[in-house]
Amino acid sequence: MKDRKTEQPRGFGLVTYSDPSAVDQVIQDTHTINGKQVEIKRTIPKGAVGSKDFKTKKIFVGGIPAVATEDEFKEFFTQFGEVTEHQIMRDHSTNRSRGFRFITFDTE
């Protein structure tokens, strides 16, 4: 996600995969983007019980370096499945990257 005003990355993003097993695979491994280890989490809707067994197409990626481009980010995660959407989270007032993203895969 990019900051709306400055167009600088906010440091996080979302990735959604079409296959939920891809999310399980991504979470099991450690990942480094532009020399920095990033944090990967499963996104879980509010009120969902049993987060470990919850199947989702979307993951949280935190600790993203500001220099990581959207194309690099998407390309990195396509090794785990088809990425249908990725969102860079940005500060509303500065448009700077907040250091995390959400990724949505094609399947759960």
Q: How many CA atoms lie within 13 A of 99 on its CB side?
A: 6
Would you say 89 and 101 are in contact if contact means Cβ atoms under 8 Å apart?
Answer: yes
Q: What is the DSSP string of 58-98?
A: EEEEE---TT--HHHHHHHHGGGS-EEEEEEEE-TTT--EE
Q: What is the mean pLDDT of residues 21-32?
A: 84
pTM above 0.75, yes or no: no
**What is the model's pLDDT at position 45?**
61
pLDDT, tens digit (0-9, with 9 covering 90-100), for 36-59: 888 887 776 665 555 555 567 888
Burial call 28-56: b when 16+ CB within 10 Å, e when fewer = eeebebeeeebebebbeeeeeeeeeeeeb
- The dihedral formed by the CA atoms of 12, 94, 4 and 77, expressed in degrees to the nearest 10: -10
**What is the model's pLDDT at position 85?**
83
How many percent of the chain have pLDDT more than 90? 0
Long-range Cβ pairs for the range 27-31 (8 Å, 24+):
27/59, 31/61, 31/76
Q: What is the mean pLDDT of residues 82-103?
A: 81
Residue-averaged pLDDT of the chain: 78
pLDDT, tens digit (0-9, with 9 covering 90-100), for 57-76: 888 888 887 777 778 878 88
**What is the model's pLDDT at position 12?**
72
Check whether 29 has a pLDDT greater than 80.
Answer: yes
